Amino acid sequence: MIIRSKAPLRLGLAGGGTDVAPFSDLYGGAILNATISMYAYATIQPRTDGKIILHSLDKKTTLEYPESEFLELDHQFDLAKGIYNRIVKDFTQKPLSFELTTIVDAPPGSGLGTSSTLVVAILGAFAEWLNLPLGEYDLAHLAYEIERVDLNMAGGKQDQYAATFGGVNFMEFFKEDKVIVNPLRIKPMILNELAHNLLLYYTETSRLSSSIIETQSKNVINNVASSIKATNNLKLQAIRMKEAILKGELDRIGEILDFGWQNKKKMAKGISNKDIDNIYKTAMDNGASGGKISGAGGGGFMIFYCPNNTRVKVVEALTKLGGEFKRYEFTTSGLTTWTI
């Protein structure tokens, strides 16, 4: 028997950072994101020899452990170990023997929610194997708890829900980890045009998002007015983006992205740097009407809205800076699991 799962990565289009505590607890957050045709994959093969084998095809690493109720966290496969430990604690109350293989279509630290999406994919594979009673909200919340509470990894809440639900969603975040996912019904013509005009550019760098997120959270705790105002403006950006997409007012997308980017940089140090600023200016000088970093900032993927036929000129200009463009399509489905 083979159990497989896949969960889509996401583009954060507006409101990024408002899902991070304590801001979301104090002021409430709002994000608009969309899943794309890049995935995190997980495969589980049950074993009968009392072994636990973990494969990461990305890192070309394999680790083997004896069957146990708890796997020690040692910065090697901690995401998979944290999920396994929680599965045993909450559901099986006994050790499992299996082989887990994972791979992700984007590198870690790239800003597309890779870590959280991988957690959803692995958790989904376990749920499929063990027939766990988890609905979409249950699974997304459990993924969030494993990553943010059990593993104490800094970050927000949007990625787990985006990967689980899929599609284009306007998400609202409240205190006590309450999340409401509002799927948006968008005409195919609008979605196709958005995908055509919205370029995904990899800067060929990755970053440790946790340090940026920790600084962002400290600014809220310390009541740094400029940071809080900027984050509230990103909530406003999410509302504006939702309205523009639903109404098909695509000419506003670039302006709304730029509004968010100018405020995003005020949330915490390290979100932008000279290289990122140069990439952004080059894109704007060559016809883009707005853009942003995908994720916490500091590196990884950037997106640029290129209206009319400006995408070719933007691609040519940014390719000279050493980055790489990734082709993608928007997806309508989230976590998918199956058994062979």
Residues linked to residue 292 through DSSP beta bridges, in sequence order: 303
Peptide bond into 22 cis (omega under 30): yes
112 backbone dihedrals φ, ψ, rounded to 5°: -105, 15
- Distance of alpha carbon 285 from alpha carbon 287, whole angstroms: 6
What is the pairing mode between strands 98-104 and 51-56?
parallel
- 320 DSSP assignment: T
243 backbone dihedrals φ, ψ, rounded to 5°: -65, -45
Residues linked to residue 199 through DSSP beta bridges, in sequence order: 304
* Annotated catalytic residue within 19, 105, 159, 258: 159
- Distance of alpha carbon 200 from alpha carbon 109, whole angstroms: 15
* Numbers of helices and strands, H then E, in the chain: 11, 12
Is residue 159 annotated as part of the catalytic site, yes or no?
yes
Listing DSSP states for 127-196 in one string gives: HHHHT----HHHHHHHHHIIIIIIS-----SHHHHHHHH-SEEEEEE-STT-EEEEE----HHHHHHHHH
Kindly report the three-state secondary structure assignment for every residue of 108-144: CCCCCCHHHHHHHHHHHHHHHHHCCCCCHHHHHHHHH
Instruction: List active site positions.
Output: 159
